[in-house]
């Protein structure tokens, strides 16, 4: 049985079948996707995929990302995506590919009532800028890529704890721990005060192991090695 968590667990992916399974499993509270995941899933028609995903997720929060690099086109896409449903959050990257800040666009869209998921954040300065730009009356998600921070050899936990304090000034903004690398990240994210964590299907499957006896897990591991050796027919 999966543990009872205070943090909201969002499934991250672009496979509609996995979305349906995650929703039916009763563990997840929402969904996220992005152009990279969509491409890996072989998606070529964005709007068609979005319609299927919205049906699959049954009214739970779901984030779709703009894919333009020009801010005017980002704004047009964001306003269109926002019309797809009340559960939709529009993902806006913190900068474009030239490194130009998206903060002015974030401020305009949030003031216009567009629910945003600001993505690809990796620094506390970016968290401060985004939080300052958000309209206090518009729900938003601030996605910090804690897993990518860890990939650089830095401990993301202190940064995420401070980010949670920064985001508190906007009560309708939620801090999201993005790009987790292991199940432990769910526990860490909850402990530091994150509201949401995104998880892959592989991590989601491991939730049932939370709190499992280590003695029992040790025995399971020994059995796995024994059974695999037998199945391989090893002889000495």
Structural domain contains residue 37 = yes
| Residue 91 known to be catalytic | yes
Half-sphere exposure of 89 (CA within 13 A, CB side): 27
Question: How would you classify residue 127: left for phi > 0, otherwise alpha for psi between -120 and 50, otherwise beta?
Answer: alpha
> What tokens does 50 get?
């979005």
Counting beta carbons within 10 angstroms of the beta carbon of residue 229, is it exposed (0 to 12), middle (13 to 18) or buried (19 or more)?
A: exposed
- Is residue 100 within 8 A of residue 73, CB to CB? The reply is no
Structural domain boundaries enclosing 171: 8-210
- Is residue 74 within 8 A of residue 92, CB to CB? The reply is yes
- Name the stretches of the chain with pLDDT < 70: 1-3
Instruction: Given the residues 91, 115, 206, 212, select the one marked as catalytic.
Output: 91
Structural domain contains residue 228 = no
> What tokens does 14 get?
């672009």
CATH number at residue 181: 3.20.20.70
Residue 60 to residue 116: CA distance in whole angstroms: 15
Radius of gyration of the chain from its Cα atoms, rounded to whole angstroms: 20
Residue 27 to residue 186: CA distance in whole angstroms: 13
Structural domain contains residue 151 = yes
Structural domain contains residue 158 = yes
Q: Which residues pair with 144 in a beta bridge?
A: 121, 177
pLDDT in tens, 176-228: 999 999 999 999 999 999 999 999 888 988 888 888 999 999 999 999 999 99
Structural domain contains residue 234 = no
Structural domain contains residue 54 = yes
Structural domain contains residue 216 = no
- Is residue 18 within 8 A of residue 201, CB to CB? The reply is yes
pLDDT at 208: 83
DSSP string, 85-137: -TTEEEEEESB-TT--B-HHHHHHHHHTT--EEEEEE-SHHHHHHHHHHS-TT
Residue 176 to residue 181: CA distance in whole angstroms: 14
pLDDT in tens, 76-92: 999 999 999 999 999 99
Q: Which residue has the tokens 């202190």?
A: 158
Domain count, the chain: 1
Residue 70 to residue 83: CA distance in whole angstroms: 20
């Amino acid at each position: 049985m999966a543990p009872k968590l205070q943090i909201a667990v969002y499934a991250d992916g672009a496979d509609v079948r996995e979305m349906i399974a995650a929703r039916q499993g009763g563990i997840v509270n929402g969904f996220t996707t992005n152009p990279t995941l969509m491409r890996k899933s072989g998606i070529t028609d964005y709007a068609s995929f979005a319609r299927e995903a919205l049906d699959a997720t049954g009214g739970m929060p779901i984030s779709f990302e703009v894919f333009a690099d020009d801010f005017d086109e980002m704004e047009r896409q964001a306003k269109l995506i926002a019309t797809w449903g009340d559960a939709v959050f529009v993902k806006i990257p913190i900068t474009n590919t030239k490194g130009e800040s998206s903060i002015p666009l974030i401020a305009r869209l949030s003031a216009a009532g567009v629910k945003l998921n600001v993505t690809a954040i990796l620094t506390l300065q970016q968290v401060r800028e985004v939080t300052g730009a958000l309209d206090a009356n518009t729900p938003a998600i601030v996605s910090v890529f804690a897993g990518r921070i860890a990939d650089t050899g830095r401990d993301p936990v202190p940064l995420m704890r401070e980010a949670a304090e920064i985001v508190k000034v906007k009560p309708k903004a939620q801090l999201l721990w993005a790009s987790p690398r292991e199940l432990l990240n769910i526990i860490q994210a909850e402990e530091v005060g994150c509201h949401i964590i995104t998880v892959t299907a592989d991590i989601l499957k491991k939730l049932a192991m939370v709190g499992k006896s280590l003695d029992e897990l040790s025995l399971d591991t020994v059995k796995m090695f024994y059974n695999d050796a037998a199945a391989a027919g090893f002889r000495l």
